[in-house]
Amino acid sequence: MGYVIAMAGKGGTGKTTIAALIVRLIKEKKLGSVLAIDADPNSNLGEVLGLKQKSTIGEILDEISTHPEKVPVDMGKDHFIEYQVQTAIVEGEGFDVLTMGRPEGPGCYCYVNNALRNVMGKLIKDYDYVVIDNEAGLEHLSRRTTRSADAFVVVSNASAVGLKAAKRIRELIKELKINVKKELLVINSSQENIEKQRIDDLKLDYLGSVPYDMDIEKISLNGNSLMDLNEKTASLSALRKIGERIWQRN
């Protein structure tokens, strides 16, 4: 059964970067099969992991809702959606990637969204780990992918605004009744030590911080993959040290 790790945090705090590093560390530790889900329509998790995207789930939903006649009569809509989702998965070395995208058309998505939720539920069972990179905000989580996560990783920088967003995310998890086993906090790209009181206020389980890393900036500037990051680089070493609770199955 897939152990689900979901990312959250204010825009630009490093959710996609940390998600990619988590995928890399799960692979490095040989913990099992991994599906990375890019659930941010404006994001690029696949690219950051060094893979070219195929079709997105959004495109598949558009196609099915605007051309229902394309569903083979002997297959049924649910099976067709399941099949399409399978073909949208890109296989990498030691991990797979699925890109959600966003449906653009005017069609009614209620049915397809429900079917999709079922498919995602099944898909999660096919992998040992599922790492979901989310957009800033949480509402999409209840809509599209899953309403539960084993580890919710909130990423923040050291700024007051970032920490306030982290606090709001924790409140949203409660309001949306998302079933979360661990609510973890990672401070990313920080040079400063944050006062303990400010961290305690968030009521998240604080793991520690990942430093600002020139190697990440270089990779990002050149559009290269974080899979090529040197294994001894500061950010990866830090996450390897503090991240155990993210992927530990209890």
Ligand X SMILES: Nc1ncnc2c1ncn2[C@@H]1O[C@H](COP(=O)(O)OP(=O)(O)OP(=O)(O)O)[C@@H](O)[C@H]1O
What residues line the site for ligand X (CB under 6 A)?
9, 11-17, 40, 43, 136, 188-189, 210, 212-213, 216-217, 220, 235
Q: Which residues contact 160 (CB under 8 A, 6 or more apart)?
A: none
> Are the C-beta atoms of 131 and 49 separated by less than 8 Å?
no
Would you give the distance in Å from CA 214 to the centre of its chain?
23
Specify the residue, 21 or 123, whose C-beta has the smaller distance to ligand X: 21
By a kind-dependent CB cut-off of 5 to 8 A, residue 59 interacts, out of ligand X, Mg ion, none, with none
> Are the C-beta atoms of 186 and 209 separated by less than 8 Å?
yes
**Closest-CA residue to 44 (of 196, 163, 36, 173):** 36
Please, what is the minimum distance in Å from the beta carbon of residue 38 to ligand X? 10
Specify the residue, 14 or 103, whose C-beta has the smaller distance to Mg ion: 14
Binding mask 24-63 for Mg ion (x = CB under 5 A): -------------------x--------------------
By a kind-dependent CB cut-off of 5 to 8 A, residue 17 interacts, out of Mg ion, ligand X, none, with ligand X
Specify the residue, 15 or 27, whose C-beta has the smaller distance to Mg ion: 15
By a kind-dependent CB cut-off of 5 to 8 A, residue 136 interacts, out of Mg ion, ligand X, none, with ligand X
Q: Which residues contact 71 (CB under 8 A, 6 or more apart)?
A: 64, 77, 80
Length of the chain: 250
| Cα–Cα separations (whole angstroms), residue 173 to 24, 79, 141, 142, 182 | 26, 31, 10, 10, 11
CA distance 144 to 174: 18
Specify the residue, 63 or 133, whose C-beta has the smaller distance to ligand X: 133
17 binds Mg ion (CB under 5 A): no
Specify the residue, 33 or 159, whose C-beta has the smaller distance to ligand X: 159
Q: Which of 13, 16, 56, 188 binds Mg ion (CB under 5 A)?
A: 16
Please, what is the minimum distance in Å from the beta carbon of residue 114 to ligand X? 27
